[in-house]
Amino acid sequence: MNRSLSRYLRPQDLGWLVLFSLLAAFGPERRAVVFTVLAGLALFQVLASKIAFFSEGRGRIAAILVKFVLCYLLVGFTDGIESSYYWIFLLPVVSASTSLGLLGTVAFTVLADAAYVSFYFFLAEGWFIPLDQVWQLTLRVLFFPIVAYLTYELAEANRVEARRYQAAAEQLTAANQSLQEAEAAVRRSERLAALGQLTAGLAHELRNPLGTMKTSSEMLTKQVSAENAVAKEMASYISIEVDRTNSLITRFLDFARPLRVRLAVADLSAILDRAIEEVARHNPPYDVTVYRNYEPDVPPFLLDAELMERVFYNLVLNAAQASAPRSAITVKTRALDGDVEIAVIDRGCGIDPAHLESIFNPFFTTKSSGIGLGLPIVSKIVHEHGGKMTVESEPGQGSIFRMYLPVRHKSS
């Protein structure tokens, strides 16, 4: 079938059109009214699947009712209870069985039986039916519920199988996502391990000449006469820059060396308060308001208070730096299925989607004065606590950094 045509005419639609065409051409009744009803059934059966209203909820019930009315008219126009088209009531019955569940199946089966039996009251010769025709009528009446039951069971089996496959597909998707995250974590760990070895060796080689430079600048400062202001100023610059470089090397080493997490029962709210107060004392001060939304049900649990204070300080400081003056930051905690969720929420500039995958990589930064170790160290500390971090951000709308820490009361 042509691809463009298949968008509008499905194979089953073609089957319905062929069926009703054969009924019109070779059926026992060839009156115009019968042709009209058959054409209406054919068109509605084909078109209803392409109208969104008839695809769900009340629309499905309405579609089956329309089919039921057309079937009733067809049987009524073709000898009623003696009609050769009595089986046409299977159309709404089967539709209900496959789309409305058990209650809908029973309702439309009973309605089909009642509609067919109602033609008994239109018999011209009265209500008497010969015994042989009574048995035939009984078989016809029983025919609808039997077919409805078999169709419903088959449809329900298909629905159960479809739900099972859907659940399996969702589990596979989740497993695939977890595998990709694990692979990314392994690659990051390998990069960090290599970087740690390089950093440790480089720091050792740099500190010796830096020590010599520091000592030389101090001796130069002492020996240069007070009248030589330029030389004293240059020596001071050397000393300041050496100290700054030493501080940078210390941060590299902090990142490279294995963390020694010292777990002790600590109050999460108190740690957060200290970090927030430290940011408030930061120079230059940040003109932001920090709202503390702590859940009181979070109990003290095992943490390295010093390291976690460093984590919270970095996150709140980053949020303050990303926020406009006189804006707000929210720090929120809540208990969550054996974990504690800590969220730092700002309404600042946000993060470019292209950078979201890289912000936890070492030396990646978008700040002119940054070195890109803050968030990698934060992530490392959280990981060493057995936790994980996520970030949600939209440019111009702000960011949400979430961390999930396991609540433990005894050292494992």
Both structure tokens of 299: 């109990």
Q: How many residues does the chain have?
A: 412
Q: How many CA atoms lie within 13 A of 244 on its CB side?
A: 8
The widest CA-to-CA distance across the chain, in whole angstroms, is 137
pLDDT confidence of residue 293: 95
Which parts of 304-373 are beta strand (E)? 327-336, 339-346
For the entire predicted model, the pTM comes to 0.51
Check if the beta carbon of residue 252 is closer than 8 Å to that of residue 373.
yes
Classify residue 258 by its DSSP letter: P
3-state secondary structure of 352: coil
In sequence order, the β-bridge partners of residue 302 are 265
Both structure tokens of 44: 């509605």
In sequence order, the β-bridge partners of residue 60 are none
Q: Where are the domains of the chain?
A: 3-128, 183-256, 264-406
pLDDT confidence of residue 276: 92
Check if the beta carbon of residue 72 is closer than 8 Å to that of residue 41.
no
Q: Which fold has domain 183-256?
A: Helix Hairpins (1.10.287)
Stretches in the chain below the pLDDT threshold 50: 1
Alpha carbon separation from 268 to 93, 297, 303, 339 (Å, rounded): 63, 11, 8, 12
Check if the beta carbon of residue 327 is closer than 8 Å to that of residue 356.
no
In sequence order, the β-bridge partners of residue 295 are none
CATH number of 264-406: 3.30.565.10
Reported for 291-295, long-range contacts at CB under 8 A and 24+ positions apart, including other chains, are 291/328, 291/329, 291/330, 291/331, 292/331, 293/330, 293/331, 293/332, 293/333, 294/268, 294/269, 294/331, 294/332, 294/333, 295/333, 295/334, 295/335
Percent of the chain having pLDDT more than 70? 89
Same fold yes or no, 183-256 and 264-406: no
pLDDT in tens, 11-58: 787 888 888 888 888 877 778 888 888 888 888 888 887 888 887 888
d(CA 239, CA 221): 10
pLDDT in tens, 272-281: 999 999 888 8
Helix axes 229-256, 131-223, angle to 10 degrees: 150
d(CA 146, CA 138): 12
d(CA 91, CA 253): 77
Least Cα distance to 113 among 93, 84, 134, 136 occurs for 93
